[in-house]
Amino acid sequence: QVHLEESGGGVVRPGRSLRLSCAASGFSFSTYLMHWVRQAPGKGLEWVAFISYDGTTKYYADSVKGRFTISRDNSNNTLYLHINSLRGDDTAVYYCARQDSSSVWRNWGQGTLVTVSS
Amino acid sequence: DIQMTQSPSTLSASVGDRVTITCRASQTISNWLAWYQQKPGKAPRLLIYDASTLESGVPSRFSGSRSLTEFSLTISSLQPDDFATYYCQQYDNLWTFGQGTKVEVK
């Protein structure tokens, strides 16, 4: 059974850094493309970042380019999102999602909340 | 960048109503569009992909269609479990979500 579980969220001061993790299980992690999506409180979904099977190809939303870094550890079945210089508008629930071979996103984690506040 | 304009932002309806939500893409995206349902505190759930393909396990009252760059999600007879927020997503060129449509009780 496919399972994605995010962790690493919490209350963080502006300007600090944070690393989110997404632990994958129930499937061959290294054979799937992966994404991070975020949702600010009461707002819509925003795609944040993409990473290829082996981590060599990465794409980012313009809103996070230069501050966010997506990475993966296929040996430990884990996806990461490193966030630098946190700002108030980074406050959101962060979801990881798996992209199937048909480009469809069927599986999502439950999300981890990041709150940026002094 | 491809923009997705979703409407309406809120829709008030009653059980049994036929409901339609629309998404317009800023450029052609072929059929590379998905629809998701999201309930409070939960992750999105895939309903429709490739504009009109019903995801396995999703009730047949949900359907999707396309006319050029305009896409629609229709619920033929709204059920109590369908009150939620719905999002479209294009996956033709990177990935973009619509702003969302909240379907609420009239």
The mean pLDDT value for A83-102 works out to 96
Mean per-residue pLDDT over chain B, rounded: 98
Percent of chain B surpassing pLDDT 70: 100
Task: Please list the residues that pair with A22 across neighbouring strands.
Answer: A6, A79
Two tokens, residue B100: 């969302």
* A106 has pLDDT over 90: yes
Q: What is the spatial distance between Cα B75 and Cα B96, in angstroms, rounded to a whole number?
A: 23
The 3-class SS string of B5-33 reads: EEECCEEEECCCCCEEEEEEECCCCCCCE
A45·B38 Cβ contact <8 A: yes
Q: What is the spatial distance between Cα A51 and Cα B31, in angstroms, rounded to a whole number?
A: 23
Q: Which chain B residues have any C-beta within 8 angstroms of a chain A C-beta?
A: 1, 32, 34, 36, 38, 42-44, 46, 49-50, 55, 87, 89, 91, 94-100
- In this complex, the residue of A44, A109, A111 whose CB is nearest that of residue B99 is A44
3-class SS shares of chain B: helix, strand, coil, % to 5: 5, 50, 45
A106·B46 Cβ contact <8 A: yes
Two tokens, residue B83: 């009150």
pLDDT in tens, A32-88: 999 999 999 999 999 999 999 999 999 999 999 999 999 999 999 999 999 999 999
A44·B97 Cβ contact <8 A: yes
Q: What is the spatial distance between Cα A26 and Cα A22, in angstroms, rounded to a whole number?
A: 13
**The predicted structure's pLDDT at residue A102:** 85
By the 10 Å C-beta count (0-12 exposed, 13-18 middle, 19+ buried), B55 is classed as: middle
Distance from CA of B98 to the nearest CA of A (A): 8
Q: What is the spatial distance between Cα A7 and Cα B90, in angstroms, rounded to a whole number?
A: 27
Q: Return the closest-CA partner of residue A54 out of A75, A77, A30.
A: A30
pLDDT in tens, B4-52: 999 999 999 999 999 999 999 999 999 999 999 999 999 999 999 999 9
**The predicted structure's pLDDT at residue A14:** 97
* A95 has pLDDT over 90: yes
A45·B46 Cβ contact <8 A: no
Nearest CA in chain B to A95: B43
How many Cβ atoms from other residues are within 10 Å of residue A111's Cβ? 21
Q: What is the spatial distance between Cα A67 and Cα A84, in angstroms, rounded to a whole number?
A: 5
